Structure 1
Amino acid sequence: MSQEVQKEEEKENQTTAAYKVYENVIIFKNLQINMDETLEKYQEEQIGPHIFKYNVISQPDNEQIEDDSKLKIFCEERDFNGFLQNKDRQVQLNRFSMKSPKPELSVIKKLLLSMRVGEESWFKISNFQIQNEVSNENDKQTTVIRYFKIKVVEQQLIEKPLDLTTLENRFLQFEKFRKDGNKLFNNSQFENAIKKYQKGINFMEAWPKIHEQDPQVQQKKKYYYQLFCSNMAQSYILLKEYEKAIMILEDIIPQCRGNEFEIKSYYRIIVCYMKTRDFDKAERYLREVKHVCQLDMDQSQLFNWLENECKPLKKVKI
């Protein structure tokens, strides 16, 4: 192959690369684009000395990028002439830690802090410094222009652990277990939700003895214990593990007299016994809830309906 033919092929490869897609992001067919024409489509915003931002997709109501988070981003880098710099890695989805100590990433961190989740922006940096490819005695640096196109796909916040030496933070930890468990529950991740609620109970059992006689502590612990148990029982019901739900509900029903978990727990345990076809126990709890609890009209109708469902089923021979 002659040198002229080889040069022509190399030139052709630079101008006619096929489209390649990573997570719906298209790699440009040409390695070079006209940056002036590209950026003039968007409004210019200066975010620092020699740094300008051009919003391609703006999400003003989305989460602001925080300096202690982990991100998933697309990052495309081009030089002054519009040539793609990271063509070996293309424009792939990358994981990026805002806590990274690498000094070469400090500029990217600054750009990201001006963005929100879901946004896509061009940045023009006119004081971007790189080492000369040919080293010399003075190790000189060349000031150049660089363009970065960044899209923030996802942000994962790094939660700082609470100082559990304070009583207030121990109460906040209860609430954190509740919220984390409920988030998993609402996403139908019932097994993981159960684990999170169980962690809340384990945390409660390891409470410092110095607070054991505090009435406020006892009240909070009782409330969250019943809440965690109630939510675990419902998770087991949705997993159709009725026996495990029954074990939890039989334990907490006597502790729930007069509070928000009482009637809810009666309803759930009756449903569990009906599902396991233990209709005698279902009827026993139906009688008990009507005798022990003060039911409003809607609640009375609900338990009457359950009773009407239970009676014919009890007569069916299995």
Structure 2
Amino acid sequence: MNQSDWFSIEDDQLFQNSEISQQNKTQTEMERIVSKYDKIILQQQNLIKYIVVVSKNEDPQKQINEKSRIKIRCEERDEKGTILNPTQNQNILKICLASSIPLIKGFRLALLSMKEGEKAWFKIQGDLLEKPDNIENFVKDQVKYYMIQVEEVIQPQQQLDVTNVENRVIQLEKFKQEGNKLYQNGDYVGAASRYLRGINFIEKWPKNLNKEKNSEVIKEDFYLVLISNRAQALIKLKDYQECQKILEPIMPRLEQKEYKVKCYYRLVFCLIQMEEYQKAQDYINIIKRDDNYFQYESLFKEFEDTCNQSQ
């Protein structure tokens, strides 16, 4: 055989046929795997879904949409069945669908067809594999397979319309409860911050709402409770000066409040920590006149002993 025979049309055709045959062979394993599952065509053969585990969650909030925050496990394979991320599929990936971070178009479409608890294979090919930044050396006929398991779906909460007193009460209660939960979990910085958001929310109360029934009473009640709770969080953070700063102005406004004695206790505690013993004793003398004082008398007695010893 001379050299020219090496480049004959016949040999070239045989070579091409051999290459196609080899391609088909390498794809057989992945096709065999996905063929066991129910098949759904999502995007004209360029995106095919094979359902492995059907979600039992009927909550519409657990359906992924373009604003969802999700946690998934993902195994990626190429057309030859080769795993492309052998370690990544062991980890939970966190994705925000509203993010501007580029995602493969087909991958985003695949996620939008899922909900929490579901597991599926996806076959993505063609233009759906392109990224917005036009990656180099892109192969138009490339095929990839993704095994996606949705661990959690979180929908962003819709912003509450706070142009009326009723909804402002809902928002204030939310600030308080979120602060309480953070406090109970030992996150005193987070709790103090959450209470402060509620306080600021009250201080920016629209003037036109002050005319509504009970508006002033609602503002005052929430304000005093949030100040009291924030003071307790500040004590945990040992920020006694700030605690004194926010408590002293509300003392005259605590009459008939069930937490009045607690606020005095917190204030006296802070003053003693700052060694302001005379001031602490003055507040003790005031609270002694309250009808509920006897419930906390033993605690204040310890404070009095400390004040007397300091003289």
TM-score range relative to shorter protein: 0.5 to 0.7
1:224 and 1:124 map into 2 onto residues whose CA distance is 52
The answer as to 2:303 corresponding to 1:304 is: no
Q: How many residues align?
A: 262
Q: Secondary structure at the match of 2:62?
A: coil
Tell me how far 1:146 sits from its aligned partner.
Answer: 4.0
Tell me how far 1:226 sits from its aligned partner.
Answer: 0.7
* Residue matched to 2:246: 248
Distance change (3 Å), C-alpha of 1:284 and 1:72: same
2:85 is matched by which residue type in structure 1?
K
Residues 34-65 of structure 1 deviation map (CA, whole Å, 9 limit, x = unaligned): 8978999xxx8899987454349x99799935
TM-score by length of 2: 0.66
Tell me how far 1:317 sits from its aligned partner.
Answer: 4.6
The answer as to 2:85 corresponding to 1:77 is: no
Q: Is the 8 A contact 2:269 2:303 kept in 1?
A: no
Structure 2 gaps of 5+ residues are 1-27, 43-47, 130-139
Q: Is the 8 A contact 2:70 2:96 kept in 1?
A: yes
* Residue matched to 2:225: 227
TM-score by length of 1: 0.65
1:106 and 1:65 map into 2 onto residues whose CA distance is 13
Tell me how far 1:143 sits from its aligned partner.
Answer: 12
Q: Is the 8 A contact 1:197 1:231 kept in 2?
A: yes
Bigger Cα displacement from structure 2, 230-239 vs 211-220: 211-220
Tell me how far 1:237 sits from its aligned partner.
Answer: 0.7
* Residue matched to 1:196: 194
Distance change (3 Å), C-alpha of 1:263 and 1:69: farther
Tell me how far 1:290 sits from its aligned partner.
Answer: 3.0
2:189 and 2:128 map into 1 onto residues whose CA distance is 56
1:282 and 1:110 map into 2 onto residues whose CA distance is 64
Alignment of structure 1 residues 126-275 onto 2, 5 Å: 129-130=125-126, 146-150=145-149, 152=151, 157-275=155-273
Q: Is the 8 A contact 2:121 2:148 kept in 1?
A: no
Residues 61-83 of structure 1 deviation map (CA, whole Å, 9 limit, x = unaligned): 99935533222433113367643
When Rg is computed on C-alpha atoms for both structures, the one with the higher figure is 2
1:132 and 1:54 map into 2 onto residues whose CA distance is 22
2:150 and 2:128 map into 1 onto residues whose CA distance is 29
2:111 is matched by which residue type in structure 1?
I
Tell me how far 1:284 sits from its aligned partner.
Answer: 3.0
1:33 and 1:76 map into 2 onto residues whose CA distance is 15
Structure 1 gaps of 5+ residues are 1-31, 134-140
* Residue matched to 2:307: 314
Q: Is the 8 A contact 1:39 1:54 kept in 2?
A: no
Tell me how far 1:156 sits from its aligned partner.
Answer: 5.0
1:300 and 1:47 map into 2 onto residues whose CA distance is 72
Aligned-residue CA RMSD (Å): 4.2
The answer as to 2:101 corresponding to 1:107 is: no
Q: Is the 8 A contact 1:80 1:147 kept in 2?
A: no
* Residue matched to 2:275: 277
Q: Secondary structure at the match of 2:74?
A: strand
Tell me how far 1:222 sits from its aligned partner.
Answer: 0.7
Instruction: Flag the structure with higher helix content.
Output: 2
